[in-house]
Amino acid sequence: MPSYDTLIIGGGHNGLVNAAYLARAGKKVLVLEKRHLVGGAAVTEEIYPGFKFTEFSYVVSLLRPEIVRDLNLPAHGLEILPLPSTFTPMLNGDYIAFWDDHEETHNEIARHSRKDADAYDEYGRLMYHMAKAVRPIIGMIPPDPTSLSPNDLRGMLKMGMHMRGLGEEKFYQLFKLMTMSSGDYLDEWFETDALKGTKAASGIIGTFMGPRSPGTAYVLLHHYMGEIDGAFRAWGFAKGGTGGISNSIANAARSFGAEIRCNAGVAHVIVKNGRAVGVALDNGDEIYANVIVSSLDPKRTFLKLIDEKELPNDFVNDIKRYKTRGSSGKVNLALDALPNFTAIPKKEMVMQTLRGAISISPSVEYLERAYDDAKYGNFSQRPYMDMIIPSLIDPGMAPPGKHVMSIFVQYAPYNLNGGWNNEQRDAFGDAVIDTLSQFAPNLKEIILHRQVLTPWDIEQITGLTEGNIFAGELALHQLFFLRPSPQWANYRTPLHNFYQCGSGTHPGGGIMGAGGRLAAMEILKDSK
């Protein structure tokens, strides 16, 4: 007899959300996590004594508000600390900044271009409406357009009515965002290089594409859909780092009766007569359940945990074609003091600026040149970087008087020429520090420790195939009913009793939790 109603492979945030919803519905749930802590890529670890690093994911904006409410996450430890600004130093020594005060941002943009300041308001309104237009799709079970089943037909009708309700102008703008490059789209709105570079950067995060690549405008929109307390485009830092988010979800799941077991890697799924019936652990133990759910990425799930002969050939080929090209790295620094960014003009601005995000994205062309290196199999010598100093937002992240800096880096291709090794990893870290030192000259003097993570490292630690932070690129051909495979975007799989719920499912990556929640709803529907 099965020991559990549901067994979930992987304790990333989607797996934990899935467990919490199923346990809340009265199911006996077990989560199996191969690492010593839960969270997947949303973890906080004390790599050096006293210094806590948000190793992989580092900010939050996409976490679905319905999940926060349904699971009462604040009662389980979730606290989001807003980021007040985004600061971009320019190559000429100037800067551009975006503040949480609308008038202050308008005046800052007007300092560079009155035309852009006026256009920025209209652009903001349009992106707000575009995010609202896409938001219902995020909470929708993707219908199969090739199916004549009543559920799929109803889904397609609902989708069609939603699109029709947008009106001609909004539909046209949404179509442009789904198909254009972020660089070309922003060229239609603005003339200031640093403004366009900073906004275009949101369109390349986690992709192996440049800002001039078609489809990156949607990734830009994807990052506009974040909500904190219902406010669009609100970015924040979780108290305790992103591990604080995962721990709050795990606490909620446990409060509903879910069991979470760490240091329990799954070797393979046990399949009998076309049904998933259990799993075999790395240590040889076997655990059985009525339903098995994988929160791992599609390639690891279907090409590593399951024998290909158990799956249809066309499905296996779809998964093999699914693009998971890792392109991002991470550099985490323990600092003896704060970096001195020479572009910050006034002393009284320093703390306000450093408490926000800092973006090395002075122009679209800068980003495109960084992509050029990666296209030919090299890491960027002058990379795009997005960084925060968590210890200024949450002092508990570092010892008194010390700081941590979290640096997301683009581009670092998984398939590097010659492969990743210690020498290449160090060279990549040096390129990041050298580039950043051009804007903060004291940086090298204040580094106490550094952790450099390549896509290869991310894959080894978290299990994400090729270190892709979205568990699959957010390209147009890998979205909605095509994610991860046609006919199998509704969280079910060709194996009976086997489901998927990770970021490789609709609606995609980021600390969102939507895949875990929607998969749980489908599992509960089937269980009836």
Q: How far apart are CA 483 and CA 478, in angstroms?
A: 5
pLDDT digits (tens, 9 = 90+) for 4-42: 999 999 999 999 999 999 999 999 999 999 999 999 999
Going along the chain from its start, the domains and CATH numbers come out as 4-40+63-77+239-323+466-527 (3.50.50.60), 122-191+202-223 (no CATH)
Report pLDDT for 228: 40
Phi, psi (degrees; rounded to nearest 5) at 418? 85, -10
Alpha carbon distances (Å) from 378 to 292, 328, 411, 428: 40, 12, 8, 10
pLDDT digits (tens, 9 = 90+) for 192-211: 999 999 999 988 888 899 99
Q: How many other C-beta atoms lie within 10 A of the C-beta of residue 506?
A: 24
Mean pLDDT across the stretch 66-83? Answer: 94
Report pLDDT for 102: 87
Check the CA dihedral 323-220-327-305 and report its sign.
negative
Q: How far apart are CA 393 and CA 236, in angstroms?
A: 10
**Is the pLDDT score of 152 beyond 80?**
no
Q: How far apart are CA 406 and CA 391, in angstroms?
A: 10
Q: What is the pTM of this model?
A: 0.93
For a pLDDT cut of 90, what percent of the chain falls above it?
A: 75
**Is the pLDDT score of 227 beyond 70?**
no
Mean pLDDT across the stretch 150-155? Answer: 80
Angle between helices 102-112 and 193-201 (to 10 degrees): 130
Give the lowest-confidence range in 142-146, 196-200, 257-261: 142-146
Report pLDDT for 234: 56
Amino acid letter for position 434: D
Q: Which residues of 97-125 are buried (b: 16+ CB within 10 A; e: fewer)?
A: bbbbeeeebbebbeebeeebbebbeebbe
pLDDT band at 449 (very low <50, low <70, confident <90, very high): very high
Q: Based on the number of CB atoms within 10 Å of its own CB, is 331 exposed (0-12), middle (13-18) or buried (19 or more)?
A: buried
Residue 271's DSSP bridge partners are 276
Q: How far apart are CA 35 and CA 416, in angstroms?
A: 26
DSSP sequence for 346-369 = -GGGHHHHHTSEEEE---HHHHHH
Report pLDDT for 2: 75
Report pLDDT for 442: 96
Report pLDDT for 1: 60
Alpha carbon distances (Å) from 327 to 164, 311, 371, 387: 37, 29, 10, 17
- % helix, strand, coil for the chain, step of 5: 40, 20, 40
Question: Across the chain, which distance is largest between two alpha carbons, in Å?
Answer: 71
Q: Based on the number of CB atoms within 10 Å of its own CB, is 418 exposed (0-12), middle (13-18) or buried (19 or more)?
A: exposed
Report pLDDT for 420: 96
**Is the pLDDT score of 229 beyond 60?**
no
**Is the pLDDT score of 175 beyond 90?**
no
Alpha carbon distances (Å) from 141 to 138, 215, 410, 498, 515: 8, 22, 32, 17, 10
